[in-house]
Structure 1
Amino acid sequence: MRGMQAWPFSPSPRLSTRRTWLLAGTAAVLAGCSSAPVQPPADRRTAAGTRSGGAAGGDALQLQAELREALLARTMLVVNTPYTYGGNSPEGGFDCSGLIQWAVQGIHTGRLPRTTSQWAQSSAPVRERGLQRGDFVFFNTLGGPYSHMGIFVGNGQFVHAPSKGGTVQRVRMDNPYFAKRFTEARSIFA
């Protein structure tokens, strides 16, 4: 095979350029769900003792817990929908935060976040009560705590829109790739 070199040798400059473009393209595709890292919001409380509810301003949403199953049902409707960078509809495909936005739009009529970091700002940390169906799970896939996200569906699984060439799918939390990149769980439910 003329022009090709065996493994111990460095690749040709042309192959290095192709690899560089491939890596850059892969990073751009994976960045579809990424956003600048943010600090989780402080647990803001009103005089009544509940979190305030403006998603656009960074305050945590606080939806009724009874809406969890409606969110999950809506999410499961779009499993196998193709990944599309910037996508947020069944017709146009989904990226990870677009999937979340679309699913929550079906149970909440207010203004909603779009990026993973905005979703982190608009949700509360899951602590004492533990992870429940409908909670969000966040992963560090690109060097930031909120690079990727999905919706926990129970039984150790979550649904997410993975990357270019993939489809919305259900994956185990203990999947080796995701287990070591898990950042935290957060919730929009009271």
Structure 2
Amino acid sequence: MIARVLPLSLLCCALLLAACGSPAPRAPTGPGTITQAPRAVSGQAVEVVLYAMSLIDTGYRFGGKNPEAGLDCSGMVSYIFDRAAGLRIQGSAADIARRGRPVEREALRPGDLVFFNTMNRPFSHVGIYIGDDRFVHAPSTNGKVRIEQMDNRYFAQRYEAARTFFD
């Protein structure tokens, strides 16, 4: 039974991601207005999101770099990007932020990374944006990989920036 549910849930996630890849409505234009062209969701980004979703409920461990031992936020991102997209992204959340290409919050696409100041230190926490104003991350609080809303009061107050490694 579980074997049938998992592929169906992955199919639903893939369809949801495909819908997230549709162009956003155009912003008004005029003097002084800067618009950013909508970005497509790459195949690698879809793989990253699906892999991140498969790690929900994986245990947290400070410095953890694989699901068997447990994951911290940067270890989770490094592990997923390596396995799902073949991209070697290593270091702390701040190190990862320095290497990514900046993305405006309004232009977030699934697979982009979102960064937060959770320890009175810039870029001290990272998660993977999955669409619909949600992200997957490995928090130390409650100790498991999970999905959060970007507008969650705690994270909304601590949001700093987004980066991408795709396009």
**Does the TM-score normalized on the shorter chain lie above 0.5?**
yes
Q: 1:83 is matched with which residue?
A: 60
* 8 A contact 2:111–2:128 mirrored in 1: yes
The 8 Å contact of residues 96 and 149 in structure 1, kept in 2 or not, is answered as: yes
Tell me which amino acid in the other structure corresponds to 1:83: Y
Unaligned runs of 5+ in 1: 1-63
Partner of 2:104: 127
2:95 corresponds in structure 1 to: 118
Separation of aligned partners in 1, 2:90 and 2:147: 23
Matching residue's letter, 2:126: M
Provide closer, same or farther for how the CA distance between residues 174 and 93 of structure 1 changes in structure 2, counting only shifts above 3 A: same
Structure 2 residue ranges without an equivalent (≥5): 1-40
State the aligned residue count.
Answer: 127
1:115 partner letter: S
Letter in 2 for 1:148: H
What is the RMSD computed on CA atoms of the aligned residues?
Answer: 1.8
Q: How far did 1:145 drift?
A: 1.9
Larger-Rg structure? 1
Are the counterparts in 1 of residues 65 and 78 from structure 2 also a CA contact under 8 Å?
Answer: yes
The alpha-carbon deviation at position 132 of structure 1 amounts to: 0.6
2:140 to 139, 147, 163: 163
TM-score normalised by L of structure 2:
0.71
Identity of aligned residues (%): 38
Partner Cα separation in structure 2 for residue 154 and residue 138 of structure 1: 15
Matched, 1:95 2:72: yes
